[in-house]
Amino acid sequence: MNVLGRDFYLRDAKTVAKELLGKRLVRVADSVVLTMEISETEAYLGVDDPACHCFGGRRTPRTETMFGLGGHAYIYFVYGMHHMLNVVTGGEGDPCAVLIRGGLPLEGHDKMCQLRFQKEWEALKPAQKRSLADGPGKLAKALSLTRADNGLDLTASDLLICDGEPEPFTITVTPRIGIDYAGEAASWPLNFKLCRARQSRTNP
């Protein structure tokens, strides 16, 4: 399992968003290793994207990380209670990013469970197990990520992204979520989801 190098991130956000599907997000929290397979991403295309925090070149303390080198974590706080994990892409001065919107737990289930529900994994209902990290706010909570972790280097820190050996999957492309304020850009097809044929008991 190899850590993705800097070059992976020094490309356009749309390409990186697609290629992040199936990769492994590795987080060390309280000396426990947590791993997720990335299952949903969303690209934000910088100064020309009305949905991007940096639209029109807006540069503020919050967005400063996005203006830095690709391969770092841009983590911010919204709705008064949720943290969002993004991967900065492109070189310095090119403020693009990929929002990690969902993941499938592979390792460290009990720890992630404690972080999300203050419960043991085995105590969860099936629906809770399935939805442990199927949204950006949930994923950040399950991985113990907050603004304090903003700017982490994804090539060398307690938050890494590695190559995986994912089961085969297809990619579903849709518009982005929760950006109605962005006008026409709200319909741009920049949301990418990992899809696997679901098992059918009746029709194999």
Partner DNA sequence: CTTCAGATGCTCT
Partner DNA sequence: GAGCATCTGAAGA
Q: Could you list the residues that contact DNA (CB under 7 A)?
A: 42, 44, 51-53, 58, 60-63, 76-82, 84, 86, 97, 99, 116, 127, 131, 135-139, 147, 176-179, 181
Burial of 20 (0-12, 13-18, 19+ CB in 10 A): buried
Nearer to DNA, 28 or 186 (CB): 186
Say how far apart CA 75 and CA 88 lie, in whole Å. 10
Question: Of 104, 100, 93, 82, nearest to 43 (Cα)?
Answer: 100
Structure tokens at 133: 């990290």
Nearer to DNA, 29 or 45 (CB): 45
Whether residue 178 contacts residue 156, with contact meaning beta carbons closer than 8 Å, is answered with no
Q: How far is the CB of 165 from DNA (least distance, A)?
A: 27
Q: How far is the CB of 40 from DNA (least distance, A)?
A: 10
Question: Of 135, 142, 86, nearest to 109 (Cα)?
Answer: 142
Q: How far is the CB of 176 from DNA (least distance, A)?
A: 7
Q: How far is the CB of 13 from DNA (least distance, A)?
A: 10
Nearer to DNA, 2 or 202 (CB): 202
Nearer to DNA, 52 or 163 (CB): 52
